[in-house]
Structure 1
Amino acid sequence: MQMASLVNMPVYGLNKLEKKQFLTARLLELTQHHYQHCGEYKRLLHCIGETCMPKDAEHIPPVAARLFKEYQLKSIDEEEIFRLMRSSGTHGSQSSIYLDADSAKLQSQVLVKILQHWLGKARRPMLLIDAAQSVQNKNGMTARAAGLQGLSFFGRNHCYALNSDMQLDVARITEFFQRYEQENILIFGFTFIVWQQFIQQLEKLNLKFNLQNATLIHGGGWKKMQQQAVNDALFQQHIKNRLGDVAVHDYYGMVEQTGTIYMQCEHGYLHAPVWSDVMIRDTNDLHLLPFGEKGLIQVNSTLPTSYPGHCILTEDLGVVHGEDDCQCGRLGKYFTVHGRVPNAQVRGCSDTFS
């Protein structure tokens, strides 16, 4: 499929039959591509008994996310590497994701399409709940840096809320809010950082602002939030108590499939865009589970061509609640995430800050 045709697909516009047809064809095509161009992936399929290509997407063996930490999984030559992406985890090794120029461009274009669906095309005054230094990394771009950089394209007059030591710059954010509080402000940050370094600091200082029509996008770090007994509803309540009229959207995503993020709708569900799919597998034998049952999250993406990241088994637990029938009206599967598998390695964009 041509890149332009792929990018121009409707974000949440295909029904389940149309989407299944598209996903099946594309994922099988990618499986064949990576089988031919990535020796490690070929050996992986052989080790689990796959000596011929699967006939449908459900039977494509997913790659365990942790394998990207242990092997250089790439389907391109060294000289074709345009960008090296690394996961943000500080405990243990990091995932390494190899992108050529076309893959990087495709991921970026799809991310823009998804976010434009939620934010529109107009750039807004933007507050980033992080330090400017977080986007600087000489050893490859981290997931956290990529998130900050990717979302910054949707803003203007950018303001970083934290100093280089990750402490709240009260004077800076006060001036920003006073200047733009009547406009459609965009706020972005990683969940635990937003909570600990921003909201809790505002509460300690007893600071409140009266935003009129702001949007906060945040993601990652829910394991630490759960350890503090903070759920999504409580998180949103504290945000609105301190900032005023703010639409809050969580998202689910990972460096292994940058571009295809899963945004949270107004009813609290994460949504799979047209370029990706979510499956739930049993934690014991990995068989597929029906809607409503909790298990391991598998994420499929039609974008990765430079590395075999099209079907990934995560270490997260979740539930798919349905398809094409969410009250928000968007087509596709919608789901919730219920934390990490017990004893799984902690990782995530927010987890890099402690």
Structure 2
Amino acid sequence: MNMEQLLQRGPYSLDKDEKTEMLTEGLKKLGEHHIENCPEYRRMMNTVNFSPENMKRYEEQPFLPVRLFKELQLKSIRDEEVVKTMTSSGTTGQAVSRIYLDRDTAALQQKVLAKIVSDFTGKSRMPMLIIDCPSVIRNRQMFSARGAGILGFSIFGSRRMYALTDDMELNLDEVQMFLEEHKGEPILLFGFTFMVWKHFYQELVKLYDKTGMKLDLTNGILIHGGGWKKLISEQVSRDDFHRHMKDICGLSRIHDYYGMVEQTGTIYMECEYGHLHASNFSDVLFRNPRDFSLCNKGESGIIQVVSLLPKSYPGHSLLTEDVGRYLGEDDCPCGRKGKYFMVEGRMQKAEIRGCSDTYAAKS
């Protein structure tokens, strides 16, 4: 099955056997491509004596520690083919990952993101409130993870409005006018978790305490991501987040997502049962931290992510610095096929990263 055929399928339509066969073939080809076109990757694969042609299942493909992208310039394209450089989040003094995209890889990432998200929001574009400030996307040549996330999700907005000023203040008058103009319509909201909490939810609480007024977002769908570390330190759980958002503005359709700039496009969306899902275009594996063996269902391990999208750089099989739990496959009550899981946190001594966590560290 080639990529065009895969794009014609529902994003969660492949069962375990179909997906294993498809991922094995696709990742084998990507491995061969990067060995041929990325000298650094070729040397690493030679060091571990790996040849893609001998790979029987995609789980056998060596992973790269995601931290390598902070230390090496890894790309499988010529310098003149680079149209966009993505940078990961990083607090002051931390190195950042640099991800090099050509036109084909960037376009494919956008197509797959649209395919995944529309399974949760529907295919029609909606008026969109971005819980951020407009200045974050002004440099179109070099995007931070935060800017890339905003730009990527902006394709779902028929009309877009930034809810915050460049001083990170809630632009209440403009938000009220926007909601009044689109009264009765479904509204899409997008933002990074901590920023939604600090600059939107907490400001709405202040507004209610002062005036007794609430915004009406009962027709809203909120997509948020970028890390929970700061909220957990404030003792805000996922259930707390959902309950408080519904209380203050009526939002009940809320979807977290897990993703990273090193594999832009292949995000893992949270379904209505609170499970993160791997789509047809990617998968998650869970590695025992003692010997990197695969974890069984119900066990926690270091999250490995594989993706069919990265062709301009060797980011198709990465070991993250996150810990998660493998919950099941093909049997989530929501009906979506594929693996589903939860993220439990960062590995001990791992750097803080993630769009929300990075912003919070500067606050």
Q: What is the TM-score of this pair, normalised by structure 2?
A: 0.94
Matches within 5 A, 1:267-346: 267-346=273-352
- Residue 22 (structure 2) aligns with: 22
Equivalent residues of 2:352, 2:358 under 8 A apart:
no
Counting only pairs closer than 5 Å after superposition, residues 109-148 of structure 1 correspond to structure 2 as 109-137=111-139, 140-148=142-150
User: Structure 1 residues 2, 274: CA separation in 2 closer, same or farther (over 3 Å shift)?
Assistant: closer
Deviation at 1:245?
4.1
The question of whether the paired residues in 2 share the 8 Å contact of 1:322 and 1:335 is answered with yes
Instruction: Give the deviation of 1:166 after TM superposition.
Output: 1.0
Aligned counterparts of 1:217 and 1:181: Cα–Cα separation in 2:
20
User: Equivalent residue for 2:263?
Assistant: 257
| Distance across 1 between alignment mates of 2:83 and 2:99 | 11
Structure 2, unmatched stretches of 5+, are: none
Letter in 2 for 1:243: C
Tell me if structure 1 keeps the 8 A contact 2:84–2:141: no
Map of 1:183-198 to 2, 5 A cutoff? Answer: 183-198=185-200
Work out the CA distance in 2 between the residues paired with 1:16 and 1:51: 24
Tell me the equivalent position of 2:31: 31
1:1-80 mapped onto 2 (5 Å cutoff): 2-50=2-50, 53-80=54-81
**Match of 1:277, as an amino acid?**
D
1:7–1:138 distance in 2 versus 1, CA, 3 Å: closer
Structure 2 counterpart of 1:11, which letter? P
Partners of 1:5 and 1:120 lie apart in 2 by 21
Answer with 338-347 or 137-146: which moved more.
Answer: 137-146
CA 153–138 in structure 1, closer or farther in 2 if over 3 Å, else same: closer
Seen in structure 2, the aligned counterparts of structure 1 residues 231 and 37 have a Cα distance that, compared at 3 Å, is same
- Output the amino acid matched with 2:28: L
Q: CA distance change for structure 1 residues 138 and 263 in 2, over 3 Å: closer, same or farther?
A: closer
The one-letter code sitting in structure 2 at the alignment partner of 1:192 is F
Deviates more, 1:145-154 or 1:322-331: 145-154
Task: Please give the secondary structure, in 1, of the residue aligned with 2:256.
Answer: strand
Report the CA distance between 1:157 and its aligned residue.
Answer: 2.5
Letter of the 1:131 counterpart: C
| Separation in structure 2 between the aligned mates of residue 183 and residue 66 of structure 1, nearest angstrom | 43
**The one of 209, 212, 215 aligned to 2:218:** 212
Task: Measure how far apart 1:11 and its partner are.
Answer: 0.3
Structure 2 CA distance, aligned partners of 1:314 and 1:245?
32
C-alpha distance in structure 1 between counterparts of 2:229 and 2:180, whole Å? 34
- d(CA) in 1 for partners of 2:308 and 2:342? 21
CA shift digits 1:120-159 (9 cap, x unpaired): 1211111100001111236611121111111111112311
Equivalent residue pairs, number: 354
- The CA RMSD over aligned residues, in Å, is 1.5
CA distance in 1, matches of 2:288, 2:295: 6
Structure 1, unaligned runs of 5 or more: none
Distance in 2, matches of 1:149 and 1:324, equals 31
**Scaled by the length of structure 1, what TM-score is found?**
0.96
Partner of 1:158: 160
- Secondary structure of the corresponding residue to residue 218 of structure 2: strand
Q: Once the two structures are superposed, what CA deviation does each residue of 1:213-240 show, in whole Å capped at 9, x if it has no partner?
A: 2100000121111111111110111111
Aligned-partner Cα distance in 1 for 2:102–2:2: 16
For the 8 Å contact 1:182–1:212, the answer to whether it is kept is no
The aligned amino acid for 1:301 is S
Q: For the Cα contact (< 8 Å) 1:183–1:212, is it kept in 2?
A: no
| Structure 2 CA distance for aligned equivalents of residues 200 and 105 of structure 1 | 37
Q: Which residue of 2 aligns with 1:244?
A: 250
Q: Deviations over 1:62-106 (max 9, x none)?
A: 111110010011111111112111112224011111111111111
